[in-house]
Structures are given as C-alpha cells and as structure tokens.
C-alpha cells in the first residue's frame, strides 16, 4: 500500500460511523421513497466510478512530495470527510435559513481567521476563491473611494487588475524592489499625487513569496489618507509564525504583525489551510462596510454578533460543506504557532530554508531571492551567464525531471525580467526575460524530501552540463 493509501484507509475506517450518524439525523423524518428516476444500477455506478478513477490518472502527483511545482496539494482528510458528510445535506450558506448549522460554523471559523490577524472587530465570510474574495474587498474599496484609484504592485496577483476592470476602478501599478516587495518610495510618490484610495499589499506574492512591507506602509498613513487591503491569499496562515523572528525574516514577521492595523484581508483556506478548493475568505476590520451590501432589512446592524452571512456576501450560493470542512479542520488544527497549523507551516518553511541552503552551496546554482515563505526560485549558470542559455537549461531540466520514467519530479517555471535577480548583475541579458525554476514547498512532507529533490536536480544538471 502506498503512503497515501494509509490516509485512504483512515478515511474508510472513520466513514461508516460518521455515515451512520448522518443516517440517524436524517431518519428523524417520516419515511419516504427515493424516486425511481434517480436510481443508478449498481454495475453502472461501479463502472462509472472505475472509469473516473482511471481518468484521474491524468494528473500530476499533487499529494506526493516529488510534486514541488505549483500551489497544489490535497486537503486534509478531516476536511474531506467533513465536506462529504455536510454535503449529504448540502446546506447553502447564502443565508441563515439555507444552512443554519454551517452558517454558525462559518462565523466561528471566520472569527478564528480574524483573530489570527489581530482584527478586534470584523465583518467577513468565506468565499468560493481568493479571486472572488479580493473582488469583494476591491469593490468595497471602490465604494468607499469612488473617485480614487486602487494601487497594487507589479508582483501582485494578476487578478487585481482584471477585477478593477470589472468594478470600473482606476488602477496604479507600483514597481517592486529587488526583493520583489512593493517599492514604498514609489508608493509615496504616487500617494503624493492624492489619487489613491486603497493600496493592495501582498503577504506572499504568487511568483516569489515576497512579503510587502505593511508595517512601513502603515507609517505612510500618518502622512497620507489611504486604506490598505492585504492579499494574503497564499501566505496568510504564516501569520502564525510571525510572533517572533525565529521562523520568518524580521522584515516579513513585522509585516505580518502589522496586518492587525490594515482595513481588509483575503486569505485562502484552500491554499495553506488544508481545505479542498472552493474556500477563500474576506475579512474587513470595520463592520460598518456591511452597509455597501444590498440587504433585506434596513434594521440590520453589521456587527460580529449580528452577522447575516447572506446579507454580506457578493456571491449568492456558497457551499455550507466548505464551512463545515474548515470548521472541522480548525478543531483538529487550531490556528496556533506551537500546536495545530503552526507546526505544519514550520516544516514547509524549513523545507524552503533547507533547499535554499543546498542551492546556495552548489557551484553553478543560484537563488533568485532568499525565500521569505516556502516558495523558492533558482537557476543554473552552469552553461554560462547569457539569460537565453539559462532559460534553455531550465526548460530542458524541467522536462527531463518530469519525464523521468522511474522517479519523476515536478517543479514549476517562472519568467523574470531584469531587476528581479538580486545583486547578480553579471548576467548577460540577450533576451527580454529569463526562465528560472520555481518550487512551492507547501507540504510538510517536503521537509524530509528536500535532500532527494536536490540530489535529483544535481543529477540532471550534471547530465546536461549544468553544474
Ligand atoms: C492564489 C492567489 C490569488 C487567487 O486566489 P484563487 O483562490 O486562486 O482565486 C490571489 N492572490 C494571491 C496572492 C494568490 O496567491
């Protein structure tokens, strides 16, 4: 049995009792017959499920530590079980009446998220994704400052620009410094023009995992009047490791701690919160922004106690099962540094630090940046310092590793422009961009696997003359 098979066994073990529980709660009502139009013959069901599993072969092994490419991993089995069980009832968290139990779970889970970021008062809810969560935050930003622009960095998620188009908001792109963080001198200059209402800051950029200096941006608020929205879709849960400087750089830790003073935040439990897809969240520090949402009752007060999820969400139908899954997961993995989710993130962070050390210690290999979270970018100059050659090597090694018939290994690739390659100005820019490796080490199992990832990389590089 594969290592992952052990998890499937745990699921098979826990499932019967839980299903009996669902049956008990469903049998409180009068007996009735499931309509015959819904029946599927057993043989057909088995056949279809068998073919489905067969078709799922056409995937990369997202659950396995040899997959160290994009931000992908399966949910925790507690989340999967909770989702499946709640789905037997299929509550809809668009309104209290659509799912009273899961609406309460959603409020409790979002309270935990708000507490993690240090928001005292708050208004927030789960969303189907980080994109929708950001859309909602930007929509509120535009509602508060209809005549002002929304600023984001050139390394921010590509959906900010798109969503600003959707809501018809003017945008300003702020350049980044060599660490991939928003350049605050450039921001100050733009703020000086008086046209910016909200600045989007990212804690964990998608490409490089860079953390924008929120603490320093807060100081700018003494001079200029603007809101800060934090896009922590990927990195938000790293707030758990930011109480001191043991796990994160002092600058990133300070940025995470400063989130408490910002105006809104987006975090994706379906990234680092062990959830299946369909679970983002948006939280506002000022509950009175609830006034911008169309709601049924003019007498509703938007405080955390009187939150009506259906009235404060841009989306209508939302899976109550997603709230159940997050709630159940947080029961097992509380948002703490020393227990629960914290130790999981410490391992993913350590995996990145370990691999960064190995890369720095290998002649011919270079890091693009010291990792701030658990995302690494690196390249080989073994074939020379022309960026066209570096890109060629990246493409070839990427393919060789992935197509290895015995021990395939999956990385991702990233295109960078000049300026993002630290103080390494010795590269010869014979092309407009350079393609480097990118690796997201978001599974705790990556920690033990890093030496193998590195050994396989080195082996391929040697084969192709890259070190
Ligand atoms: C993933 C991500 C998003 C988009 O979130 P989805 O859940 O994929 O829609 C936005 N911003 C950042 C920083 C991200 O990492």
* Residue-averaged pLDDT of the chain: 94
- Give the pLDDT score at 372: 98
Q: What is the pTM of this model?
A: 0.96
Is the pLDDT at 299 greater than 50? The verdict is no
Count the Cβ atoms, other than its own, within 10 Å of residue 84.
18
Centre of ligand 1 to C-alpha 159, Å, is 8
**Relative to the CA of 157, which ligand 1 atom is closest?**
11
* 45 belongs to a structural domain: no
* 68 belongs to a structural domain: no
Residues 444 and 325 reside in one and the same domain: no
Host H or E run for residue 256: helix 250-257
Query: In total, how many domains does the chain have?
Result: 2
**Relative to the CA of 234, which ligand 1 atom is closest?**
15
* 186 belongs to a structural domain: yes
Residues 323 and 390 reside in one and the same domain: no
- Give the pLDDT score at 425: 74
Is the pLDDT at 302 greater than 80? The verdict is no
- d(CA 308, CA 300) in angstroms, rounded, equals 8
Is the pLDDT at 181 greater than 60? The verdict is yes
**Helix 77-87 and helix 320-332: axis angle, to 10°?**
140
Domain region containing 278:
100-332
Is the pLDDT at 167 greater than 50? The verdict is yes
* 211 belongs to a structural domain: yes
Backbone angles phi, psi at 340, to 5 degrees: 75, -125
Residues 348 and 406 reside in one and the same domain: yes
- Give the pLDDT score at 383: 85
Backbone angles phi, psi at 95, to 5 degrees: -155, 160
CATH code for position 418: 3.90.1150.170
Q: Pocket of ligand 1, candidates 127, 231, 235: which has the most ligand atoms within 8 Å of its Cβ, to mutate?
A: 231
DSSP string, 34-83: --GGG---HHHHHHHHHHHHHHTTSS--TTSTTB-SSS--PPPHHHHHHH
What is residue 337's three-state secondary structure? coil
Is the pLDDT at 362 greater than 60? The verdict is yes
Residues 301 and 428 reside in one and the same domain: no
pLDDT > 70 in the chain, percent = 96
Q: Is 275 in the pocket of ligand 1 (CB under 6 A)?
A: no
- Give the pLDDT score at 293: 85
Residue nearest to atom 12 of ligand 1 (CA): 233
- Give the pLDDT score at 420: 77
Name the domain boundary from 332, 364, 380: 332
Residue closest to 337 by CA, chosen among 256, 248, 238, 270 = 238
CATH code for position 123: 3.40.640.10
Residues 211 and 125 reside in one and the same domain: yes
What is residue 14's three-state secondary structure? helix
> Average pLDDT for residues 101-115, to the nearest whole number?
97
Residues 294 and 366 reside in one and the same domain: no
Q: Is 233 in the pocket of ligand 1 (CB under 6 A)?
A: yes
Which tens digit of pLDDT belongs to each residue from 339-354? 999 999 999 999 999 9
* Stretch among 93-107, 151-165, 300-314 having the lowest mean pLDDT: 300-314
Q: Is 80 in the pocket of ligand 1 (CB under 6 A)?
A: no
166: left (phi over 0), alpha (psi -120 to 50) or beta: alpha
- Indicate the DSSP class of residue 221: T
Is the pLDDT at 424 greater than 70? The verdict is no
- d(CA 376, CA 298) in angstroms, rounded, equals 50
Radius of gyration of the chain (CA): 24
Is the pLDDT at 304 greater than 70? The verdict is no
Residues 226 and 200 reside in one and the same domain: yes
């Amino acid at each position: 049995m594969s290592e992952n098979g052990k998890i499937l066994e745990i699921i098979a073990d826990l499932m019967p009792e839980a299903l009996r529980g669902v049956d008990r709660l469903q049998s409180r009502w009068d007996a009735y017959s499931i309509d015959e139009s819904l029946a599927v013959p057993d043989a057909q069901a088995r056949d279809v499920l068998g073919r489905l599993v067969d078709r799922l072969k056409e995937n990369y092994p997202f659950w396995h530590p040899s997959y160290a490419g994009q931000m992908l991993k399966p949910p925790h089995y507690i989340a999967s079980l909770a989702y499946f069980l709640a789905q037997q009832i299929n509550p809809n968290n668009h309104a209290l009446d659509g799912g009273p139990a899961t609406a309460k779970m959603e409020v409790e889970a979002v309270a935990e998220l708000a507490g993690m970021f240090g928001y005292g008062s708050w208004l927030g809810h789960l969303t189907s994704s980080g994109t929708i969560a950001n859309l909602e935050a930007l929509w509120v930003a535009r509602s508060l400052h209809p005549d002002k622009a929304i600023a984001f960095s050139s390394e921010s998620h590509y959906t900010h620009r798109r969503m600003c188009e959707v809501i018809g908001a003017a945008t300003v792109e702020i350049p980044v410094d060599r660490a991939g963080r928003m350049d605050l001198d450039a921001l100050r200059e733009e703020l000086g023009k008086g046209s910016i209402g909200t600045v989007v800051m990212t804690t964990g950029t998608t490409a490089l995992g860079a953390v924008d200096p929120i603490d320093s941006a807060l100081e700018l608020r003494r001079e200029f009047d603007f809101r800060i929205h934090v896009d922590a879709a990927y990195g938000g849960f790293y707030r758990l490791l930011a109480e001191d400087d043991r796990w994160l750089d002092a600058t990133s830790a300070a940025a995470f701690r400063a989130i408490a003073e910002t105006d809104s935040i987006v975090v994706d439990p379906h990234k680092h919160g062990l959830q299946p897809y369909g679970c983002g969240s948006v939280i506002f520090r000022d509950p009175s922004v609830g006034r911008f949402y169309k709601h049924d009752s003019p007498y509703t007060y938007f405080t955390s106690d009187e939150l009506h999820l259906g009235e404060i969400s841009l989306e209508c139908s939302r899976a109550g099962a997603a709230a159940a899954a997050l709630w159940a997961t947080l029961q097992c993995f509380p948002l703490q540094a020393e227990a629960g989710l914290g130790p999981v993130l410490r391992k993913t962070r350590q995996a990145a630090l370990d691999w960064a050390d190995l890369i720095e210690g290998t002649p011919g290999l270079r890091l693009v940046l010291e990792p701030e979270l658990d995302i690494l970018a690196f390249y080989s100059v073994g074939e020379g310092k022309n960026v066209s050659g570096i890109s060629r090597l990246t493409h070839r090694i990427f393919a060789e590793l992935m197509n290895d018939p015995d021990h395939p290994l999956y990385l991702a690739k990233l295109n960078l422009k000049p300026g993002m390659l630290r103080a390494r100005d010795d590269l010869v820019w014979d092309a407009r961009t350079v393609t480097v490796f990118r690796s997201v080490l978001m599974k705790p199992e990556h920690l033990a696997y890093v030496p193998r990832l590195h050994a396989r990389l080195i082996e391929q590089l040697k084969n192709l003359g890259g070190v």
